[in-house]
């Protein structure tokens, strides 16, 4: 019974924790412009993050090594450093976007300008990372993030004409109002939003924090293969909701407030309250995860002591990196840069940075010396290879598409 | 070769060659309670009676900085020198006798734990001046969490001698055959345990070098396991490294450590 409860809790937090500011904004923006014609990318991205997270979680459980440990050992100190700088920059950008997202959610709830909330949020995130236990952090925000289910219910409540929506989703085509290059730009953005590198750093390092071993593999897989796809379904429901309500009016989502409009339309104030709780939990939880992930990746590259399972004084370098990232993230937001814009860039750069973190995991998951009989099977390797190609293609295409489309304008 | 319960079988099997780049260099160093003590930033080698022996591990910023190119390398070396109180700091060489086991990590004995924890100068500085000043900083009662003093170690056993060479300068060194033709660069160095009865890892003796035209992807591990998947990636990496040659150390005439050249004797391959 206790075990079942643990698995259920893991799945629920995986669902609630799946969505972050990148998923919220990108899915809502895509829904309002492209309807459901890009849903297939979310499906591809979610399967990709399942494959990637399952491999890195399995490697962490069996060998005890988290992702950046392996990146350094397989790629060496120079290429490893390039991977570190690239993914740290992206993770830091994501942290900045998440802090901005929390502040925007608080602005919507309080009508106090978000810039006033930014330093408060920065301090709160840091306090949580400094003092709150890892399990509490993961479970509390994951469960509160489930409030976003209101989007799925809203789609139902709005009672759309299903046949054109389904048709769009299963037979995708570029909408006549949009360029092909813009369509593909948003495809890369959605892919990056689903497969952000920090999710894997956090997932595998979390496995080490929670002292996974080979016996934890079943729970881990349940979280990944049930929790992540259901989380992906939440992403799709956000896109569907904006496609139903905003697209007919020609409104393109460019603020967090607009993301909540469909729920407001469907349920009034109570819907808005739930959506705001969901936004807050999802972004705050992700802010904590990204903050930790910056620390995890640097510390693992250099072999420093990291983690919340040791007390702060034993991991002073790790906690210094976490502290500095929170301060710097707040600093960037206080330049009044638009957090939504930061989010849009962060998901595209995620796609750019992915290959150098993905490749070493795929390789080590095949190393019998570490993994014994837990090496990749045929399915994992088949999917792993397909995604290696996809990840490289998305990475190569990201910047040209960004330049070509003026970042999706 | 196990360090205790909970460890997977080690990567080092008696009589089997150990790939130093793949299995030792850039790996996490762990204490007995899985304290993370640093990375293997370089490996110390010494020439003894025509053999090349692996004598120790280098951990820390100074050794890492040496492997970075150009400006970055110079700056990070300067930082690591400033963090060291000694007049002419040299990187610490942890003798291989103190390494208990190798698996996905390098497990060291309790004595080395203390040495490495005291060598982590950036950690100690930040602990004292930054993290220790924040309210709620816990961990002071742990031996490695308290106000450890960075004792400049002058133990001659832990200092590199003039005869100490680095694995990182052997990797990537140009290989020249006896008739002077180019045989690529060193991509992997293999060693074996000198005595199989030891409960520890050392001593290790270099048995061969693998050299070829390409360095890229040489450290992924596809050379050591011919069936390692996924199939397309393995095939691509093995094809890329199809011209690699493994030369026994007996056929190495000598190493020019300054010019980074490995000279082979006439009867090679």
A 200-259: CB under 8 A from B = 213
Any idea how long chain B is?
Answer: 269
How far apart (Å, rounded) are the C-alpha atoms in residues B62 and B68? 10
- Interval A71-83: pLDDT, tens: 999 999 999 999 9
Q: Once rounded to an integer, what is the mean pLDDT over residues A254-269? A: 95
Burial class (CB in 10 A: 0-12, 13-18, 19+), A90: buried
CA A136 centroid distance within chain: 19
N-term to C-term CA, chain A: 52
A382 contacts B145? CB cut-off 8 A? no
Contact A78 B132 (CB under 8 A): no
- What number is the average pLDDT over the span A213-224? 92
Please give the Cα distance from B148 to B123 (Å, whole number). 10
Partners of residue B105 in chain A, C-beta under 8 Å: 64-65
Partner-chain residue, chosen from B64, B137, B221, that has the shortest CB–CB distance to A77: B64
Instruction: Inspect the interface and report whether the beta carbons of B136 and A65 lie closer than 8 Å.
Output: no
Rounded CA separation A79/B189 (Å): 20
The DSSP symbol for A227 reads: I
Instruction: Identify the pLDDT of residue B10.
Output: 63
Does A311 touch chain B if contact means CB atoms closer than 8 Å? Answer: yes
A351: containing domain: 2-405
Distance between CA atoms of residues A23 and A242, nearest Å: 13
Select from A323, A361, A349, A359 the least CA-distant residue to A401. Answer: A349
- Domains annotated on chain B, with CATH: 18-158 (2.30.30.240), 168-264 (2.30.30)
Q: How far apart are CA A143 and CA A228, in angstroms?
A: 14
The contacts of residue A212 (CB under 8 Å, 6+ apart) are A57, A60, A61, A220
Q: How many structural domains are present in chain A?
A: 1
User: CB–CB of B26 and A305 under 8 A?
Assistant: no
Which chain B positions have a beta carbon within 8 Å of A376's beta carbon? 229-230
Give the nearest chain B residue to A126 (CA atoms): B134
CA-closest candidate to residue B191, choices B2, B9, B11: B11
Distances (CA, A) of A228 to A219, A357, B139, B219: 13, 20, 35, 33
Average pLDDT of A85-110? 96
pLDDT tens, A270-326? 999 999 999 999 999 999 999 999 999 999 999 999 998 888 988 999 999 999 999
Q: Which of residues 222-251 of B touch A (CB under 8 A)?
A: 224-225, 228-234
**Residue contact A381–B231, C-beta within 8 A:** yes
CA atoms within 13 A on the CB side of A374: 21
Give me the residue from B35, B123, B230 closest to A385, CB to CB. B230
Number of H helices, E strands in chain A: 18, 0
Residue A400 near residue A187, CB atoms below 8 Å: no
What does A149-215 look like in DSSP terms, one character per residue? Answer: HHHHHHHHHH---HHHHHHHHHS----TTS-HHHHHHHHHHHHHHHT-HHHHHHHHHHHHHTT--GG
Instruction: Region of B134 please: left (phi>0), alpha (psi -120 to 50) or beta.
Output: beta
pLDDT mean for each 10 residues of chain B (269 residues): 43 77 95 92 91 92 89 88 73 89 92 86 88 83 64 69 91 93 94 76 89 89 89 94 94 93 78
Q: Are B244 and B187 contacting, i.e. CB atoms less than 8 angstroms apart?
A: yes
- Element at A286 (helix H, strand E): helix A269-302
Output the pLDDT for position B229.
84
Backbone angles phi, psi at A15, to 5 degrees: -65, -55
The whole-angstrom distance between A66's CA and the closest CA on chain B is 10
Choose between A275 and A134: higher pLDDT: A275
What would the two tokens of residue A162 be?
């299903």
**How does pLDDT run across B182-199, given as a tens digit for each residue?**
999 999 999 998 776 667
Q: A59 vs B197, which has greater pLDDT?
A: A59
pTM for the model:
0.93
pLDDT, mean of residues A399-404: 94
Could you tell me the CATH number of the domain that includes residue A38?
A: 1.20.1740.10
d(CA A402, CA A189): 10
What average pLDDT does chain A have?
94
Quick check: B59 and A316 CB within 8 A? no
The Cα-based distances of B228 to A36, A188, A259, A377, A388 in angstroms read 40, 31, 47, 11, 16
Question: What count of Cα atoms within 13 Å lies in the side-chain half-sphere of residue A338?
Answer: 8
Question: How far apart are the C-alpha atoms of B101 and B37, rounded to whole Å?
Answer: 15
**b or e along B88-107 (b: 16 or more beta carbons within 10 Å of the residue's beta carbon)?**
ebebbbbebbbbbbbbbbbb
Query: Rounded CA gap, A370 and A374, in Å?
Result: 9
CA distances from A263 to A25, A237, A239, B216 (A): 15, 11, 12, 52
Range in A113-122, A165-174, A272-281 the model is least confident about: A165-174
Please state the separation of Cα A194 from the chain's center in Å: 6
Positive or negative: CA dihedral B234, A217, A86, A398: positive
Cβ contact, residue pair B26, A314, below 8 Å: no
Contact: A302, B103; criterion CB under 8 Å: no
B73 in contact with chain A, both atoms CB, cutoff 8 A: no
Residues in chain A: 409
Q: Extract the tokens encoding B102.
A: 């190798």
Which residue, A352, A351, A292, is CA-closest to A325? Answer: A292
Q: Which residues pair with B176 in a beta bridge?
A: B182, B263
Residues 348 to 407 of A: which have CB under 8 A from any B CB?
360, 362-364, 366-370, 372, 375-376, 381-382, 384-385, 388
DSSP character at residue A225 = I
This complex has an ipTM of 0.91
């Amino acid at each position: 019974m206790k075990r079942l409860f643990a698995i259920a809790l893991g799945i629920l937090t995986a669902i609630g924790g799946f969505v972050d500011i990148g998923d919220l904004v990108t899915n809502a923006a895509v829904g309002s412009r492209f309807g459901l014609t890009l849903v297939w990318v979310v499906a591809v991205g979610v399967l990709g993050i399942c494959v990637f997270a399952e491999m890195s979680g399995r490697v962490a459980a069996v060998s005890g090594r988290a992702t950046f440990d392996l990146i350094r050992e397989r790629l060496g100190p120079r290429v490893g450093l390039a991977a570190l700088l690239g993914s740290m920059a992206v993770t830091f950008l994501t942290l900045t976007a998440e802090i901005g997202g929390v502040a925007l959610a608080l602005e919507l709830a309080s009508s106090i300008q978000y810039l006033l909330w930014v330093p408060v949020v920065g301090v709160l995130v840091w306090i949580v990372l400094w003092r709150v236990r890892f399990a509490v952090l993961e479970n509390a925000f994951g469960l509160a993030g489930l409030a976003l289910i209101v989007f799925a219910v809203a789609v139902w409540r709005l009672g759309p004409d299903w046949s054109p929506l389904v048709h769009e989703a299963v037979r995708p085509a570029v909408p006549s109002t949009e360029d092909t290059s813009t369509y593909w730009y948003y495809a890369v953005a959605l892919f990056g939003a689903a497969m952000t590198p920090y999710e894997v750093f956090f997932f595998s390092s979390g496995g080490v924090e929670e002292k996974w071993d080979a016996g934890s593999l079943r729970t881990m897989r349940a979280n990944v293969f049930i929790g992540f796809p259901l989380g992906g379904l939440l992403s799709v429901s956000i896109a569907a909701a904006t496609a139903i309500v905003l697209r007919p009016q020609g409104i393109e989502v460019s603020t967090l407030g607009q993301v909540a409009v469909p729920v407001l339309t469907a349920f009034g104030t109570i819907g808005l309250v739930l959506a705001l709780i969901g936004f807050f939990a999802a972004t705050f939880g992700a802010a904590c995860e990204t903050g930790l992930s910056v620390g995890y990746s640097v510390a693992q590259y250099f072999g420093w002591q990291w983690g919340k399972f040791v007390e702060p004084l034993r991991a002073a370098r790790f906690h210094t990196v976490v502290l500095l990232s929170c301060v710097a993230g707040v600093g960037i937001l206080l330049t009044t840069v638009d957090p939504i814009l930061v989010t849009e860039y962060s998901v595209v750069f995620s796609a750019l940075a992915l290959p150098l973190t993905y490749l070493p995991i795929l390789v080590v998951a095949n190393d019998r010396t570490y993994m014994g009989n837990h090496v990749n099977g045929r399915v994992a390797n088949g999917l792993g290879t397909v995604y290696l190609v996809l990840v490289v293609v998305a990475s190569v295409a990201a910047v040209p598409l960004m330049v070509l489309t003026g970042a999706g304008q | 070769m196990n360090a205790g319960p909970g460890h997977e079988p080690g990567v080092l099997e008696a009589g089997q060659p150990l790939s130093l780049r793949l299995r030792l260099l850039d790996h996490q160093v762990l204490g007995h309670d899985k304290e993370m003590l640093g990375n293997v930033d370089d490996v110390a080698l010494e020439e003894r009676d025509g053999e090349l022996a692996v004598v120790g591990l280098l951990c820390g910023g100074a050794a890492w900085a040496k492997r970075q190119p150009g400006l970055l390398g110079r700056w990070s070396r300067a930082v690591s020198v400033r963090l060291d109180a000694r007049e002419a700091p040299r990187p610490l060489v942890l003798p291989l006798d103190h390494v208990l086991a190798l698996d996905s990590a390098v497990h060291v004995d309790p004595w080395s734990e203390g040495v490495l924890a005291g060598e982590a100068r950036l950690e100690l500085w930040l602990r004292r001046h930054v993290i220790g000043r924040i309210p709620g900083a816990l961990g002071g009662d742990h031996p490695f969490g308290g106000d450890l003093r960075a004792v400049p170690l002058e133990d001659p056993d832990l200092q590199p001698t003039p005869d100490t060479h680095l694995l990182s300068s052997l990797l990537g060194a140009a290989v020249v055959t006896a008739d002077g033709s180019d045989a690529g660069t060193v991509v992997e160095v293999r060693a074996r345990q000198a005595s199989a009865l030891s409960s520890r890892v050392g001593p290790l003796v270099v048995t061969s070098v693998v050299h070829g035209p390409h360095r890229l992807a040489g450290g992924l591990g596809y050379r050591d396991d011919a069936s390692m998947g996924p199939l397309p990636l393995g095939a691509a990496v093995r094809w890329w490294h199809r011209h690699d040659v493994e030369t026994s150390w007996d056929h190495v005439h000598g190493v020019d450590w300054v010019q980074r050249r490995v000279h082979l004797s006439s009867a090679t391959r």
